[in-house]
Amino acid sequence: MAPTPGKSDSGVNLKYLSLIVLTFQNATLILSIRYTRTLPGDMYLSTTAVVLAELFKMIASAAIIMKQKGSLEGLWDHVYYYTIVQWKDALKISVPAILYVIQNNLQYVAISNLEAAVFQVTYQLKIMTTAIFSVFLLRKELIRTQWMALVLLFAGVALVQLSQTSETKTTNNVEQNPLLGLIAVLLSCCSSGFAGVYFEKLLKGSDISIWMRNIHLAGYGVIVGLFGVLWTDGAVVQEKGFFFGYNAWVWWVIAMQAFGGLLVAVVVKYADNILKGFATSLAIIVSCVVSVFLWGFVITLQFSIGTSLVLGAVYLYSLPKPATKLLPN
């Protein structure tokens, strides 16, 4: 029987839409953060932006659950049961929540001190950290091509970093320290890898919906993030206010962090690993091109080779595992 044109076209359209959304979110968020961190004038506090992003994420997840339950009372009963009655299970989410807050703050430090294209390439090391933690925590097995991809990834990132100067420089009166940026992005990758694997383990061992988990993640994130604001920028907030340095671009970044991640979570179910890898590669290329035009980023031969290795590694790692052949009796 011939495939129904409507269904086939619908599947293709969803895949293309997934590709566009994933590429847009991956590239735009990094470029937007970089742009806001290089604007002249008063610099906003990144710690407050992280808190607001978590707050908006919690509100959005709650709105989705309320729609599913049909009322505010249904939302309250759902949240009360999985947060208060099942408090031991809810408490487990505090671990990845704290790590995600640390990761988000480190991203701001890294992007403030690295070119957007360099950060975008280097940040792909999260594939390696996630793979390593998956092997040890989830007992996952990597096939030969995936190990090859991780070697290529490390080599590519090393070449990209070696192509950059480690000297402190100034862009639009904002001092940048590439070494500090590198340390921040490496710590962010480690935090992201462990938090992602730990969260995956929790999801597999529970029947709680992803939206309820997001409420827990964001709730802990707000609490921990506020402690970070007080610890790091308490004096500035007291003197100049929580929203010091905010403008339309800063609110755009916060919205992208809060709603972009939720949108990707919805879209990802229509995208296979190859499509996600392709979107990551496109995002890197977009970041490189935009960086050239906006910030005069110079693409050297060494950077090009390193980036090509990273793109190849992303593609190799995303390839599906070969089917296991059954031996005849």
- pLDDT tens string 242-285: 999 999 999 999 999 888 777 766 676 666 666 777 788 888 88
Mean pLDDT over residues 167-175, rounded?
57
Q: pLDDT (tens digit, 9 = 90+) per residue, 176-195?
A: 788 899 999 999 999 988 98
pTM: 0.83
- Least confident piece of the model among 83-97, 98-112, 266-280: 266-280
Beta strand spans in the chain (E): 169-171, 174-176
Q: Tokens 């192509």 — which residue?
A: 163
**Burial class of residue 298 (count of CB atoms within 10 Å of its CB; 0-12, 13-18, 19+):** exposed
pLDDT at 177 (0 to 100): 86
Q: What percent of the chain has pLDDT over 70?
A: 86
pLDDT tens digit sequence for 14-34:
677 777 888 888 888 899 999
**pLDDT given at position 7:** 47
Burial class of 89 by CB neighbour count within 10 A (0 to 12, 13 to 18, 19+): middle
327 has a pLDDT exceeding 50: no
Question: What pLDDT does 206 receive?
Answer: 73
Average pLDDT over residues 230-251: 94
Name 205's Cβ contacts closer than 8 Å, sequence gap at least 6.
none
**In the predicted model, is pLDDT for residue 40 greater than 90?**
no
